[in-house]
Amino acid sequence: GVPSGTIAASALTATPSCAAATNSTAWDYSAVGKTAISGFDDTLNASGVTAGSAAQAFGSTVNLCTKDTTTNGTTGSTGGVYNVTSSLELTVPAFQQAARYTAVVTVTLA
């Protein structure tokens, strides 16, 4: 038969990082290929981003990045362009059967 089973969501952990984008890392996702946003000025980003803690388990909410209320002195805005990345680690239990497992991760911007 086909092996089956589940792996608990908490077996997957994330260790995120986030930082304000620079002139060379503010990606234009509407362009073909890896292209920086034309005319982007990284001095207009507001500071105050903090990455979530290391090894957060997906058994509950995972915080990748938080932006505080710090404003940019030139624009008066709290916003900007920020790059968020994360390593993911899946701990597979020793008794787990070899099979193909799938999952859906939902990202909410709030």
The per-residue pLDDT for range 11-61, each reduced to its tens digit, is 999 999 999 999 999 999 899 988 999 999 999 999 999 999 999 999 999
What does the radius of gyration of the chain's CA atoms come to, in whole angstroms?
Answer: 19
User: How many angstroms separate the Cα of 1 from the Cα of each of 5, 33, 49, 97, 99?
Assistant: 13, 43, 50, 12, 11
The per-residue pLDDT for range 63-92, each reduced to its tens digit, is 999 999 999 999 999 999 999 999 999 999
